[in-house]
Amino acid sequence: MHDIKVLIVDDSAIVRKIFTEELSREPGIQVVGTAPDPYVARDKIVRLKPDVITLDIEMPRMDGITFLKKLMKYHPLPVVIVSSLTPKGGKLALEAIESGAVEVLSKPGAAYSVGDMKQQLVDKIKAAARARVRERKDEPLIGETSVELPTRALQETTNKVIAIGASTGGTEALKEVLTKFPPTIPGILVVQHMPPNFTTAFAKRLDGLCQITVKEAENGDSVLPGRALIAPGNYHMLLKRSGARYYVSVKNGPLVCHQRPSVDVLFNATAEYAGPNAIGVILTGMGSDGARGLLKMRQAGARTIGQDEASCVVYGMPKEAAKMGAVEKVAPLNRIAQEVVNFV
C-alpha cells in the first residue's frame, strides 16, 4: 500500500501549515500540497492526483460546497470536510455530506489549537481513503419507494424497538433507510458517529424528508412508533424500560471503541432491555463499533441485519459484526428498510 496522498484546501495559512506539519509526521500519510481556494485546488488535483482532500466550507472566490459539487460531478474524490461547525454551519456540513463528502470534522475555534485534533483528522483521512466514492444521483420521491407495513403489524409490534448504528458514509445510508419507513414503524434509535452541533441539523433534515418523525434525542424521551431518535454528538444513548414504556437515557461517559456516541453502548442496552423485541441494524462505517453489541442483541433473541459490502462506503463495522456471527441477514442498502419491515 502506498502512502495516502493528501491535498489540504483551506483559506487559512496557519491551518494549512499546522495540518501539513501534523499529517507529515503520521506514517502512511503524505501531504502532496495545499491550496488557499478551490481554483488553486482544481489545478493541483489534476497535477498532484491526491487520494484524499481536506476541504474547508467557507473560502474566498468559491465556497467549499459549490466546489465539492463540481468535484463530485467531474472528478470524484474522497473529501473530508473540516469546518467550524456552528449551528448554522451544521446545516452546511449536512449539505456537504449530501453532495458527496465522506467525513466531516469540526475545526477548533482558534487556529493554534488545530493540532489538538490530529488523531481525529488522521482517522477520518484513513477512512476516506478506503471509501468508495459514487456519483451523486437525484433522489426519487419518498412515496415512490416507501415500504408498506401490514396494518395488523402495528398491534403486534407495539413494544418492538429498532436500533441502528452507522459511521463513515452513514448519513446518506440512514437517509436511504429512514425515508422508506412508513409512519407505523416501531420506534427507532440511531447512533451515527458525529461531532457536536451536527446531530441537531441532521435530525431536522431527516425529519423534513421522512414520513416518520425524526429528532435529536433528549434524556427521558419515549421510544414511540413512527419516531426515530438520533443520539446527540458527544453523548451516549441507551435504551431503558419502565414497565411497558421504553425510553432513552442520554449521558456523558468514557469513549467506547474510540467513539461517543457509541453503537456498542446502544446495542448492549437494547439487548438488555428489549431482548427478542428488538431489531438491530449495522450500516457502513470504519472500525468495529457495534459488532459486539449486535452479537449481544442476537444472543438475546433479537433479529439482526448487516449492510452488504458492495453498498457500503466503508465495509468495516458490518464486516466485523458478520465475522463474529452477529449478523442474521446481510442485505444491500436499498433492501434494508424492507428487511426490517419483514422482521417486524
Domain match, 120 and 159 both: no
pLDDT value for 119: 84
Domain boundary pick from 71, 103, 129: 129
Q: Each residue of 157-205: pLDDT tens digit?
A: 347 999 999 999 999 999 999 999 999 999 999 999 988 888 998 999 9
Output the domain CATH number for residue 210. Answer: 3.40.50.180
CA separation (Å) from 273 to 137, 244, 245? 40, 11, 11
Q: Each residue of 18-38: pLDDT tens digit?
A: 999 999 999 999 999 999 999
> 258 near 290, Cβ under 8 Å?
no
- What's the total number of domains in the chain? 2
Domain match, 84 and 169 both: no
Does 193 qualify as catalytic in the annotation? Answer: yes
Selected catalytic residue, list 193, 221, 262, 264: 193
pLDDT band of residue 88 (cuts 50, 70, 90) is low
pLDDT band of residue 64 (cuts 50, 70, 90) is confident
Domain match, 67 and 150 both: no
Q: Each residue of 248-300: pLDDT tens digit?
A: 999 999 999 999 999 999 999 999 999 999 999 999 999 999 999 999 999 99
Q: Is residue 138 part of a domain?
A: no
Q: Is residue 135 part of a domain?
A: no
pLDDT value for 197: 80
pTM for the complete prediction?
0.76
Q: Is residue 294 part of a domain?
A: yes
Domain match, 325 and 191 both: yes
pLDDT value for 241: 87
333-343 helix and 170-178 helix, angle to the nearest 10 degrees: 50
Does 288 qualify as catalytic in the annotation? Answer: no
Does 167 qualify as catalytic in the annotation? Answer: yes
Q: Each residue of 230-252: pLDDT tens digit?
A: 999 999 999 998 777 899 999 99
Long-range contacts of 155-159, Cβ-Cβ distance < 8 Å, separation of 24 or more: 157/186, 157/225, 157/344, 158/186, 158/225, 159/244, 159/246, 159/277
Domain match, 85 and 162 both: no
Selected catalytic residue, list 83, 106, 167, 288: 167
